[in-house]
Structure 1
Amino acid sequence: MFLVLMVLGGIVFWSFQSAEERNFRVAKNLDIFNSIVKELDMFYVDTLDPDKTIRNGIDAMLYSLDPYTEYFPEDDQSELEQMLKGSYGGIGSVITWNEKLKRSMIAEPYEHMPAAEVGLKAGDVLMEIDGKDLMGKNNQEVSEMLRGQVGTSFKLTVQRPGTKKPLEFDIVRRSIQLPFIPYYGKLEHQIGYINLSTFSGNPSKEFKQAFLDLKKQGITSLVIDLRNNGGGLLDESIEIANFFVPRGKTLVTTKGRIAQASNTYKTLREPLDLDIPLVVLVNGGTASSSEILAGSLQDLDRAVIIGTRTFGKGLVQTTRPLPYGATMKLTTSKYYIPSGRCVQAIDYKHRNEDGSVGRIPDSLTTVFHTAAGREVRDGGGVTPDITVEPEKLPNILFYLVRDNLVFDYATQYCLKHPTIAEPEKFEVTDADYAEFKEQVKKADFKYDQQTEKILKNLKEMAEFEGYLEDASEEFKALEGKLQHNLDRDLDYFSRQIKEMIAQEIVKRYYYQRGGIIQQLKEDKDLKEAVKVLTDAERYKSLLSAPVKEEKKAE
């Protein structure tokens, strides 16, 4: 007993010394930093901007930690508020850059928001704000001018395609709340669908209303779409999971350095439906709270996960007040879902020599088990139960979108068509597409063909290694077959290009809701979800542990 007490006493004494030494090192380096700033301010050859200089030092320090630990000065609180609440003071519109005009233009006004209500349309070129010319100002600069305190007003001048004179709009900024659920509806086979875009704010309330409405419409199964949902509030993901999970279940455990950062989160309410079959759609943009919902439902064998591996953010942030109205958002803990795994994909603590970080390789991940005994892994996001490889967009489509040719065609289309069919029935006709092709040709459209680049590199390497002379005829034949042919490419990839055009047009009339409906028509993930939800045996087997084969005696 005496020996044990002596050892424990030694540990306590060592810990005290360690803490005291650490406090000294922190104080010492802060004193040095403070002295450096003062010396620079007094003796540096040029006059320093103290705010900019110290901000750069703060940003560099935080950059060495992780991308989620950030500093927000007093005049930058709106960005933090938008992150936490999903809202901001502005007009409610996406803007895009027109390279030819060197100006920003309206890309997508949000439904029921000031931009849409005053009559702004996609394609409107932004000319002036309160008389200030916007020529040459980038999207970030224009966005900052459009945003501001709720209730303030300004005059916006735009040039609308098809009109000679600029148009003026008086706009009052409002609190812009991006839609939590831009679309929900009943699909074929009595399948419900809910697109959940964020966990910021209070999306659980709208989710509950949407689900109960779908139940009234007679749905017998549900698809929850979390693709490109970057997360938000942890409590909201737990609240939504609780709709389908019994009360009292532990969904998330957080672990940090201090006691306040370590918590256990359980379901607190009676569920809405414990039996309805669920499918959750995910992709690489599914992160944070979205991964908590998807991962928890997977760990509890409550939903089949379909899509591609999620982002892999297993870190939790909280905000801390700082002097002079500033705030810091910092990482305080990691979270662990019901199986005990953490989905964090990148180890920021152990950086490479050049400061870069990489994903944890699958070979170093650990196997965990769901409630039914299915194998799942940590360290790389949530791996779907069914992986659906996304369709690769053709190279030509990238350039058509980049050069605003799809966007410009949609603008011209809307000038000629005051109305269109409902999103479920709308389609781009062959005549429409022929018109689009003519517009592309008139624009003298040019784009890089990757095959030409690769062939050129291969030819140079063949010459370098001495093989070109013997393979010259083969290279000539291949070059002939890979000749740049715009007509051929527009026809060959017409299906994918038509889909992009249709989505751009539909959004002009039916906003974000219409764009989602159009996208779902050829959605590979959703088609797989429908297959699973219409096959009860397969659904059940996907959520059951694999049956172990009994070894037969020889």
Structure 2
Amino acid sequence: MRKKVLFPFIVIACIVALSFTKPADRYFEIAKNLDIFATLFKEVNALYVDEVNPNKLIRTGIDAMLGSLDPYTNYIAEDEVEDYRTVNTGQYGGIGAITREIGGKTIVTMIMDGYGAQKGGLKIGDEVLEIDGVQLSKLSREESGQLMKGQVGTPVTLTIKRYGSEQPIKLQFKREKIKVHNVPYSGMLSNDIAYIQLSDFTPDAGKEVRNSLIALKEKGAKGVILDLRGNPGGLLIEAVNISNIFIPKGKLVVSTKGKIPENNLSYETLNAPVDTEIPVAVLINRGSASASEIVAGTLQDYDRGVVLGERSYGKGLVQVSRPLSYNSQLKVTTAKYYTPTGRCIQVLDYAHRRDDGSVASIPDSIKRSFKTSTGRTVYDGGGIEPDIKVEAVEASALTQVLFEKGFLFDFATQYVYKNPEVVDPKTFSLSDEGYQQFVTWMKGKDYSYKSYLEHELEELTGEAKKEKYYGEIKNQLEQVKTRIAENKKNELMLYKNQVKMLLEEEIIARFHLEKGSVEAGFKYDNEVKKAIEVLHDTQQYKKVLNIQ
């Protein structure tokens, strides 16, 4: 209990201290509060009734302090720096295998094309039992992940269990430099429409998109879909480089404004573009954030492309990394960024928290309007609003449970071993007979869950009992409960299209890895279908962008 009271007090003291305007007063308050913190910690460590872990206690204090600012200002301890570097560079030493814990087992869920795991015979669906003789069952998920990675050039031995094989198999690999591509897939969706999926903004993102577009134009592309859905962002300079592919040299892409003048910067395009005329459709959703929003916002402000999908996440804050002692790092928010028209798309106002510490969205009443190059009205303070809204199909609770518990994955593994003939990712469709096999296979398996409606019914029942109305409406509530239970028995058929899509993606991934999985989803993708329609309809495209 003392721990919970202790650190909020320190955070409040530090915030009050930093509100002083005179430098001398400010530095004195900082020194004073650091001294209070040190002496307080010393006393707690010496006197607290139970033994305390100094590292854990200090980390709690640091995280609580930074958490009072925003979710993006973080402390990275020395043992976390390598993972942080991997996220920011897309590079690490390993074999090119992605694993996930399913039912308490470490299962290979994806093999990266061209790396050691693929060349050494590892397969999707293999269960990893040991790494260099160390049993994974005795390790945490984080510890097993660290064992898989390592210094480039060092050997690693995996003991795996494979479907259909009675004895464990030992496979040897040599770790190599793994580069996670920013563009996991690019290709032609039709004779004239290109598609580029951008999943990250790590180094070379701009180069990968540029090279993809050039190659696709050589194949006859007359329009391009740039898919930023689910892209959390990354390096700001790569957002500038990607925007530069479609807009001329010397154009403003993004500006940043912070507390100190050094953070007030403007970023313009520096290179000749690839194509300033080809029609562009940018796909965004609620998972498109930061650098993704810079690209989408820039192309929207210049009326260079039609933005489709859902409103983006709304992260308009810039972070930089600063080295700390003992090889640790601080990732700290230093500025807000603004699109070419001057929009800051930050949704949450962390500078003005409520009394309970919660954060509110910027109210519509104070959002400002801006004009694009052709005079269209756009707004700040709410992410990037698409030019054409296309509601994404929400995954049902059933499909989420089937995925999380690994049932879709396990069935796909068995299906492929029983049906080893390679399938075409663009034409393969799981037959009704194949789907019925899945339904039969699921019988007796526990995939129970509570739907949103069931949670609401429970709350309603509870409220009815509190208000003494339960006796009067008990029969009606029981009827609803029974009806829901009956419907859930048929959910595998009710949500057949969703489940079938995920099964097809899993099956195709066994033959064609990530690229095949992406291709398998196109025929179900309403946003992609709408983008193709808009790019083919020149009049609609120009009308949306207000091009005369």
Asked if the contact 1:103–1:138 (Cα under 8 Å) also holds between the matched residues in 2, the reply is no
Measure, in 1, the Cα distance between the counterparts of 2:364 and 2:73.
26
Matching residue of 2:274:
272
- Deviation of 1:466 (Å): 6.4
Measure, in 1, the Cα distance between the counterparts of 2:93 and 2:136.
20
- Deviation of 1:459 (Å): 5.2
Matched, 1:248 2:257: no
1:26-37 matches, cutoff 5 A = 26-37=30-41
1:22-421 matches, cutoff 5 A = 22-41=26-45, 48-99=52-103, 102-135=104-137, 137-188=139-190, 190-421=192-423
> What TM-score, normalized to structure 1?
0.89
In 2 relative to 1, CA 479–24 (structure 1 residues): closer, same or farther, beyond 3 Å?
closer
- Deviation of 1:478 (Å): 4.5
Alignment equivalent of 2:486, drawn from 476, 484, 487: 484
Matched letter for residue 438 of structure 1? T
- Deviation of 1:423 (Å): 0.5
Measure, in 2, the Cα distance between the counterparts of 1:201 and 1:295.
21
Matched letter for residue 161 of structure 2? Q
Matching residue of 2:9:
none
Q: Unpaired segments of 5 or more residues in structure 1? A: 1-14, 548-554
Asked if the contact 2:162–2:168 (Cα under 8 Å) also holds between the matched residues in 1, the reply is yes
Matching residue of 2:13:
none
Identify which range, 203-212 or 168-177, moves more after superposition.
168-177
Measure, in 2, the Cα distance between the counterparts of 1:349 and 1:261.
18
Identify which range, 102-111 or 255-264, moves more after superposition.
102-111
- Deviation of 1:42 (Å): 5.2
Measure, in 2, the Cα distance between the counterparts of 1:395 and 1:24.
55
**Structure (1 or 2) with the larger CA radius of gyration:** 1
In 2 relative to 1, CA 450–273 (structure 1 residues): closer, same or farther, beyond 3 Å?
closer
In 2 relative to 1, CA 92–275 (structure 1 residues): closer, same or farther, beyond 3 Å?
same
Measure, in 1, the Cα distance between the counterparts of 2:340 and 2:426.
39
Identify which range, 166-175 or 218-227, moves more after superposition.
166-175
Q: Find the residue that maps to 2:437 and give its secondary structure.
A: helix
Measure, in 2, the Cα distance between the counterparts of 1:198 and 1:422.
27
Asked if the contact 1:255–1:333 (Cα under 8 Å) also holds between the matched residues in 2, the reply is yes
Measure, in 1, the Cα distance between the counterparts of 2:208 and 2:358.
40
- Deviation of 1:479 (Å): 5.1
- Deviation of 1:34 (Å): 2.7
Matching residue of 1:428:
430
Matched letter for residue 150 of structure 1? V
Asked if the contact 1:181–1:207 (Cα under 8 Å) also holds between the matched residues in 2, the reply is yes
Measure, in 2, the Cα distance between the counterparts of 1:131 and 1:213.
45
- Deviation of 1:91 (Å): 2.8
Measure, in 1, the Cα distance between the counterparts of 2:175 and 2:122.
14
Measure, in 2, the Cα distance between the counterparts of 1:161 and 1:391.
33
Measure, in 2, the Cα distance between the counterparts of 1:66 and 1:455.
36
Deviation per CA, 1:341-394, whole angstroms, max 9, x where unpaired? 111111112222222223323343222221222111111211101111111223
> What TM-score, normalized to structure 2?
0.90
Matched letter for residue 426 of structure 1? F
Deviation per CA, 1:411-464, whole angstroms, max 9, x where unpaired? 101211223221001110111111111110042543434445544554565566
Asked if the contact 1:365–1:379 (Cα under 8 Å) also holds between the matched residues in 2, the reply is yes
Asked if the contact 1:419–1:509 (Cα under 8 Å) also holds between the matched residues in 2, the reply is no
Asked if the contact 2:290–2:317 (Cα under 8 Å) also holds between the matched residues in 1, the reply is yes
Q: Find the residue that maps to 1:30 and give its secondary structure.
A: helix
Measure, in 1, the Cα distance between the counterparts of 2:407 and 2:66.
41
Question: Identity of counterpart residues, as a percentage?
Answer: 40
In 2 relative to 1, CA 22–409 (structure 1 residues): closer, same or farther, beyond 3 Å?
same
Asked if the contact 2:314–2:345 (Cα under 8 Å) also holds between the matched residues in 1, the reply is yes
Identify which range, 354-363 or 536-545, moves more after superposition.
354-363
- Deviation of 1:72 (Å): 2.4
Task: Let me know the Cα RMSD of the aligned residues.
Answer: 2.5
Matching residue of 2:505:
503
Q: Find the residue that maps to 1:484 and give its secondary structure.
A: helix
Matching residue of 1:513:
515
1:532-543 matches, cutoff 5 A = 532-543=534-545
Q: Find the residue that maps to 2:71 and give its secondary structure.
A: coil
Give the count of matched residue pairs. Answer: 530
Asked if the contact 1:95–1:139 (Cα under 8 Å) also holds between the matched residues in 2, the reply is no
Asked if the contact 2:224–2:280 (Cα under 8 Å) also holds between the matched residues in 1, the reply is yes
Measure, in 2, the Cα distance between the counterparts of 1:493 and 1:536.
36
Measure, in 2, the Cα distance between the counterparts of 1:399 and 1:414.
22
In 2 relative to 1, CA 450–53 (structure 1 residues): closer, same or farther, beyond 3 Å?
closer
Measure, in 1, the Cα distance between the counterparts of 2:525 and 2:230.
14
Q: Find the residue that maps to 2:278 and give its secondary structure.
A: coil
Q: Find the residue that maps to 2:490 and give its secondary structure.
A: helix
Deviation per CA, 1:5-37, whole angstroms, max 9, x where unpaired? xxxxxxxxxx99711111111111122223334
Identify which range, 89-98 or 480-489, moves more after superposition.
480-489
In 2 relative to 1, CA 422–487 (structure 1 residues): closer, same or farther, beyond 3 Å?
same
Matching residue of 2:526:
524
Matching residue of 1:551:
none
In 2 relative to 1, CA 310–439 (structure 1 residues): closer, same or farther, beyond 3 Å?
same
Matching residue of 1:4:
none
Asked if the contact 2:376–2:546 (Cα under 8 Å) also holds between the matched residues in 1, the reply is yes
Measure, in 1, the Cα distance between the counterparts of 2:483 and 2:64.
51
Matched letter for residue 26 of structure 1? I
Q: Find the residue that maps to 1:244 and give its secondary structure.
A: coil
Asked if the contact 1:449–1:484 (Cα under 8 Å) also holds between the matched residues in 2, the reply is no
Q: Find the residue that maps to 1:61 and give its secondary structure.
A: helix
Measure, in 1, the Cα distance between the counterparts of 2:456 and 2:77.
48
Asked if the contact 1:322–1:328 (Cα under 8 Å) also holds between the matched residues in 2, the reply is yes
Measure, in 1, the Cα distance between the counterparts of 2:451 and 2:44.
52
- Deviation of 1:284 (Å): 1.0
Matched letter for residue 91 of structure 1? I
In 2 relative to 1, CA 191–489 (structure 1 residues): closer, same or farther, beyond 3 Å?
same
Q: Find the residue that maps to 2:335 and give its secondary structure.
A: strand
Measure, in 2, the Cα distance between the counterparts of 1:478 and 1:48.
52
Measure, in 1, the Cα distance between the counterparts of 2:255 and 2:510.
44
